[in-house]
Structure 1
């Protein structure tokens, strides 16, 4: 559900990150994409984005929540950070192939027709990468994606947990929609800030043509030439995507938890 709402923002973020040269505004870029390719082009790569969520997000939430069942109620922040990083990293690695296809499908509309990948859907993209580039290429950028996903796990899962715990210790918040919204908004800000440099590097690695960069360090040095802000390209659309995505995800998650999963957490006295 969150992906359906935020996919166009993710597409704009990818375009900004892969754009080299003169600075371009979000409004101008969005208008240009819609004018040249139509409104539905903002949903290019949706199948790959959904496929990624069904691997990456399912795994990280599954590992984190299962681990919490075996941890003490008052488990330390450090232990939860470790679990969230591991859960995010593992999920990120498994989700690398659909993420790679997602980046390529989103970026296709800005390329000349003869240079486009023209994947029909996620599975078509995965099969084409496997056939033309080999199995190993499906996991190109997997190291960066895994590390970035681990940091995102900490930024979202642990931050959300910690902010929610702090709020519930006060007399102003209950385990309700207001608390869930506030906690997820705080988690979104933290997650966007600490993951954006890694996201820029990951996007450029995945979108690179064979031989364009020698290694990840080469990508880092190339980005560094644009100055410190080069590592934060696409920050605004990234936050506009991660913010609603995080809020919608946790609100749906909490509703499902309260009605179909765990019982509501008791008020901390």
Structure 2
């Protein structure tokens, strides 16, 4: 009796394994590679799956190649955000690249700029092609979007931690921050405006002139190489002053910018460089 029971158990295991194999075989047979859609980016596990890591605010370009045994008649791209159609993309989440005869081969460059709304979300793009035989195929692209240092700037308060006199002839990179500046901070707003907080230690000594300069706007050049700030004097509102800084460090934790100033009237050089180092803190 025990041998019969044991035999039945083995038979059930064999039948289960066979059913799994048949399901996998049927699944493979149902996958269409005509038309064939190929993305020139890293692949991911699964059939026609791709994955790319990117930072917000920086465009990504994906070369797409489609080949078919008969003429292509439609190609569209669908974006999902957390598995739901993203209405901000294309027409309610769908962008139609073409819906007319395009021949058997088609090359396309898909460009997308991830926004801060995509950060740490499940961002997916489905590329769908249809040919004149009615065959449909799809390829899926997953974007892993992290917050870029650029987009992080308006999300933090930037606390002044150091002012280095880079070109000091006697002591290069000499720390030159005044005690009254150590509680200074700035806010760089998303709309391009900015403000400076001088803290509680202000209005005397080396900080006697705090508040006489009103800061109006800020801009980071597209290549992240320069930080441009505009301001005006409290008593000269019609005179705009533009200062340009070289960006030396730009991370989500630190922002360091270098300014060249003319100190010849004070006995210094005409091209003295100062490096302002800011650390990120809660806004």
TM-score, length-scaled by structure 1: 0.19
TM-score, length-scaled by structure 2: 0.19
* More strand as a share of residues: 2
Identify which of structures 1 and 2 has the higher relative contact order when contacts are C-alpha pairs closer than 8 Å and 6+ apart. Answer: 1
